[in-house]
A and B are shown apart, each in its own frame.
Chain A
Amino acid sequence: MSDFETTAAGGGSATAASATTMSSEPGTQAAQLKKVKKQKVLLMGKSGSGKSSMRSIIFSNYLARDTRRLGATIDIDLSHVKFLGNLTLNLWDCGGQEAFMENYLSQQRAHVFSNVGVLIYVFDIESRDVERDLATYVNIISALVQYSREAKVFVLIHKMDLVHPSTREQVFEERVSIVRRKTAEAVAIVRKQKPEYPASASVSEGSGMIPDIDLDMQLFATSIWDQSLYKAWASIIHDLVPNLGVIETQLASLGVAIDADEILLFERTSFLVVSKWTSPEGETNPWGDRFERMSNILKAWKHTCSKFTGTPRNAEQFSDFEYKMGPNFSMFVTKFTTNTYILVCMPPGEARFNSAKLNVAAARPWFKFLDGPVVAPASAGGTPREGTGSGGGGQLHQQHPQEYGI
């Protein structure tokens, strides 16, 4: 430790000029922070398309190969997934056998399709009867638009691992255009029946063309056997996370303060990327798939550790992971708040590294709100770290790790 303080002193004013503060947050933060949020998420698609498999991998620590043991879901399998401290996903895993589907669309229609925040619709790329799949899909979309106009739709073209790698992109693109067209048609029909739904501004009425969809829809190619699963589900989760703006601002402050090139924040169980910050230098990193790749790697690593230690997969498996690649770069992944892990990629340098680790530890209280409903702070402008020697309303200091040490 003592070596380190010497260096830190040397680096004291390193980039003091550029040191950003987290001021202004504490006072306003509590007011801005939202209470616990509940979201109804429908998971639909034909039987065997892989709905239960995906949810078990993402939220219940299944390995991809464990999903072979899953049986068909009977009716609706409802689960409440706690994501971070203040988001609850009410996940409706809807068994996809035809009889069930018909039932959702008739008797249970209002029950199933009301108050939906997100619909995740899964297409099995191996399915023989594409026309029929699409017909069912159109019926589901119609019901959704009827009862939950605001719902977001995610369409997953799934089991892409079964398509030859050289044609994957093309196969996916073809599906995307078909699904988009069908969606637009479905929305148009509902709109005709219910004229009180205004069309979006971009639609030129009366032009005789299919109107633009005002449905918020995204499509992904997925497979449980690779990282594509994490890309899709991170997008699904991303917009649902409360207080995203606050998280992003604070990650940015932290990133600048510790001189990082990239920071990723993961949810503890799923290892989905909740939020990320990248420096201008980091933006030049050509690996565009690195976020889902990191989720995939770290989740697999968690499973490896669990197998080795014999502790349950949902238990905490590792606390600290450091990697220094000589004079190229350094990084660490560590437990951050109760519900999150943080990954920091930064320039090389021993002193810089130690300082960053201390500063990340010091910044923990700032992200406390990730772990639960916010408790009103004791005093106005009260910083989560009152009383520490940091001074200045909870500013995070650049390269002054000794202030936070021990």
Chain B
Amino acid sequence: MSSAFLQTDNGHPASFDTDDATQPQSQTSPTRRSLVRCISPAVLNLERVFEQNRQRLQKKDGVPAPAAKVSDQASVPQTKGKPRLLLMGQRRSGKSSISSVVFHKLPPSETLFLESTARIQKDSLNSFMEFQVWDFPGQIDIFDNPNFTFDIDAIFGEIGALIWVIDAQDDYLESVARLNSTILNLQRGYPHINIEVFIHKVDGLSDDYKLDIQRDVTIRIQDELSDQGIENAPVNFHLTSIYDHSIFEAFSKVIQKLIPRLGQLEAMLTNLCRTCRFEKAYLFDVNTKIYIATDNTPEDMASYEICSDYVDVIIDFTEVYGSPEWKRSDEWRARLEGPPWLQTLENQVACEFAESGMVLADAQRPIMLREVDRFLALVAIMKEGSYDKMPQINMNVDVVVKGLIEFFEITKTKTGIAAVGGGTPGAVAVEGGGDGRL
């Protein structure tokens, strides 16, 4: 009955695979936790695929990998292949706040106490995809620094995206000018790097004002670039604030561009929505509330918000009542597995993964959540009255979850662990309280 994603808990702390050895910080953050505790060490490594993808892209576009590449890789071997997000911008524009709120669950109000960043802050994140976030001190200019020469290639060689943060509540002309020169510098050696401009701290600004700023910033950048003869540079704009969902939504967009075979994931979700008559489905990275894929219906901030808050609620419930800190006693288990049940708790449950459902009062619209693996959860808004069809829906969801697991398995390295049955949670199909064998 044990699956690759769940081990029965005998009091052993979750052990991680040796694959993690290169990744010292990856599992330390105390707030990060999978929904179901003590999960197998199977870690999803997309980096290999990412790397292939990147090389293929470069080849296809006929842009050779920078010459310095090889030697550079030797100098920073531990970061090889991990997509990197660089956070840059003026001092106090909100870079450290963003990275703390999104990746370390810092309550937004506590960012008031963040100190100014003195050196590059490197975070390694071990999620559905391993990536790095580099938070730069605002005052340094890496291309033009009198005191120190940065190894530009070490910084940009592995890059996934450059996120440029502009404080919308402040005078942004200097920031835009620096961004322009950065883009020009990058266009020479690394034209594929996505430039993601976060027009930040837009909380408290009127909608009209936000759009005005966005328009103004866009024009200033486009004009400068076309003056320099550059068209179609990969520059995107996002209006963000750490006080609402916009920062998570923006990161979702940024990260989705780095996911290989995203289209395939989206197709799976689109299919699920059709067969189950879901209004909208999201695949969430649970730790960061970034959605890594959704179905093909039009984007809808409102449904992203409620699904994202749903994940939050489940994380809180899990922490309070399902954390390893609250270890149930042996007597507790013995009583629950004793007569008349005479079954292990594992056999008394219908689904070995975390699952949840909730009905909105207005039109009896249910929302459901299903854990996919230790990083991902599927959340879907259902149509009115679908609650009656839950058994069929659950079966369809099982199939999709299985598909998703396989999707990520493909890239998983052979780790030497008996990763058996990982993609075959076949027993789950016996749904709907079918424990009547007793």
With a 10 A CB-CB cut-off, give which of A285, A293, A300 has the most chain B CB atoms: A285
CB proximity of B366 to chain A, nearest CB, Å:
9
Whether A161 sits at the interface, judged by CB under 8 Å, is yes
A320 close to chain B: CB less than 8 A = yes
**Interface pair B433/A4, CB less than 8 Å apart:** yes
Q: Which of A140-148, A214-222, A311-319 contacts B (4 or more CB under 8 A)?
A: A311-319
Per DSSP, chain A at the interface is: mixed
B349 contacts A350, CB within 8 Å?
yes
B321 touching A329 by the CB < 8 A rule? yes
CA distance A317 to B8 in the complex (A): 36
A319 CB contact (under 8 Å) in B37, B112, B313, B359: B359
Residue of A nearest to B319 (CB): A287
CB distance from A234 to the nearest CB of B (A): 16
- B191 part of interface (Cβ distance < 8 Å): no
- The residue in chain B whose Cβ has the minimal distance to the Cβ of A11 is B340
Given A308-B302, A324-B351, A10 contacting B438 (CB threshold 8 A): yes
Report Cα–Cα, A164/B340, bound state, in Å: 54
List residues of chain B with CB within 8 A of the CB of A284.
326-329
Q: Name which residue of chain A comes closest to B434, CB basis.
A: A3
Cβ contact within 8 Å between A287 and B326: yes
State which of A161, A164, A308 has its C-beta within 8 Å of the C-beta of B109: A161
User: Which residues of B287-309 have CB atoms within 8 Å of chain A's CB atoms?
Assistant: 302-303, 305-306, 309
A305 at interface, CB cutoff 8 A: yes
A-B contact pairs, 11 of them (CB 8 A): A14-B340, A165-B113, A284-B326, A284-B327, A308-B305, A311-B361, A318-B359, A323-B355, A328-B36, A350-B350, A351-B348
Nearest chain A residue, comparing its CB with the CB of B324: A328
Q: Of residues 287 to 326 in A, which have CB atoms within 8 Å of B's CB atoms?
A: 287, 290, 293-294, 297-298, 300-301, 304-305, 307-311, 315-326
Residues of A within 8 A of B146 (CB): none
Report if A350-B348 is in contact (Cβ < 8 Å); known contacts: A3-B436, A329-B321: yes
A348 CB contact (under 8 Å) in B329, B349, B361: B349
- A287 touching B322 in the complex, CB below 8 Å, given contacts A7-B435, A13-B340, A308-B305: no
CB-CB contacts below 8 Å: B33-81 with A: 35-37
Give the contacting residue for B354; candidates A298, A310, A315, A325; CB below 8 A. Answer: A325
What's the Cα separation between A167 and B360 when bound, in Å? 41
Asked if B184 is at the interface of the complex by the 8 Å CB criterion, the answer is no
How far apart are the CA atoms of A286 and B309 in the complex, in Å? 25
Does any Cβ of A come within 8 Å of B406's Cβ?
Answer: no
Q: Is the CB of A351 within 8 A of B357?
A: no
Contact B314 A320 (CB under 8 A): no
Contacts from A to B (Cβ < 8 Å): 3-4, 6-7, 10-15, 65, 161-162, 164-165, 225-226, 259, 261-262, 281, 284-287, 290, 293-294, 297-298, 300-301, 304-305, 307-311, 315-329, 331, 345, 347-352, 354
Query: Could you tell me the distance between the alpha carbons of A15 and B336 in the complex, rounded to whole angstroms?
Result: 10
Hey, which chain B residues are within 8 Å of A322, CB to CB?
356-358
In the bound complex, residues from chain B placing their C-beta under 8 Å from that of A298 are 313
Kindly list 15 other residue pairs between chains A and B, CB separation below 8 angstroms, not including A7-B436, A321-B357, A347-B345.
A10-B341, A259-B336, A284-B329, A287-B319, A293-B320, A300-B309, A301-B309, A310-B362, A319-B364, A326-B6, A326-B351, A331-B321, A345-B321, A349-B435, A354-B433
**Per-residue A-contact encoding for B331-374, CB less than 8 Å = 1, 0 else:** 01001100111001110111111111111111110000000000
Contact B348 A349 (CB under 8 A): yes
Q: Is the CB of B36 within 8 A of A319?
A: no
Bound form: Cα–Cα A352–B321 in Å: 17
How far apart sit A274 and B357, CA to CA, in the bound complex (Å)? Answer: 25
Shortest Cβ distance from residue B315 to the other chain A in the assembled complex, whole angstroms: 10
Contacts A286-B326, A347-B332; is A331 near B357 (CB within 8 Å)? no
Pairwise interchain contact A318-B6, C-beta atoms closer than 8 A: no
Q: Return chain A residues, CB-CB under 8 Å to B313.
A: 297-298, 301, 321
- B residues adjacent to A (C-beta < 8 A): 6, 8-9, 35-37, 107, 109-110, 112-113, 243, 302-303, 305-306, 309, 312-314, 316-323, 325-329, 332, 335-336, 339-341, 344-346, 348-364, 432-436, 438
Candidates A3, A281, A328; contact of B433 at CB < 8 Å: A3
Residues of A within 8 A of B318 (CB): 325
Instruction: List 4 A-B pairs, minimum CB-CB distance, nearest first.
Output: A10-B438, A6-B436, A349-B348, A309-B362
For residue B302, which residue of chain A has the nearest CB?
A308
What is the CA–CA distance of A309 and B340 in the complex, to the nearest angstrom?
44
Q: How far is the CB of B392 from chain A (nearest CB, A)?
A: 15
A309 near B353: Cβ-Cβ < 8 Å? no
Bound together, the chains give a CA A328 to CA B319 distance in angstroms of 12
A4 and B306 CA atoms in complex are apart in Å by 32
Which single member of B113, B335, B355 contacts A164 (CB below 8 Å)? B113
Q: Which of chain A's residues has its CB closest to B38's CB? A: A328
A318: shortest Cβ distance to chain B, in Å?
A: 6
Report the bound CA distance from A128 to B319 in whole Å.
Answer: 39
Query: Are A304's CB and B309's CB within 8 A?
Result: yes
Asked whether B354 lies within 8 Å of A326 as measured between CB atoms, the reply is yes
Smallest beta-carbon distance B233→chain A, Å: 37
Q: In the complex the two chains form, what is the Cα distance from A340 to B350 in whole Å?
A: 29
Q: Given that A294-B320, A320-B358, A327-B352 are known contacts, is A11 also in contact with B302, CB under 8 Å in the complex?
A: no
Kindly provide the distance from the CB of A315 to the nearest chain B CB, expressed in whole angstroms.
Answer: 7
Alpha-carbon separation in the docked complex, A356 to B375 (Å): 30
The answer, among A6, A286, A293, A324, for a CB contact under 8 Å with B355, is A324
Please name all residues of chain B whose beta carbon is closer than 8 Å to the beta carbon of A286 when the two chains form the complex. Answer: 325-326
* Contact A226 B107, beta carbon cutoff 8 Å: yes
Question: A7 contacts B438, CB within 8 Å?
Answer: yes
| Smallest CB separation, A40 vs chain B (Å) | 34
B298 to chain A, nearest CB (A): 16
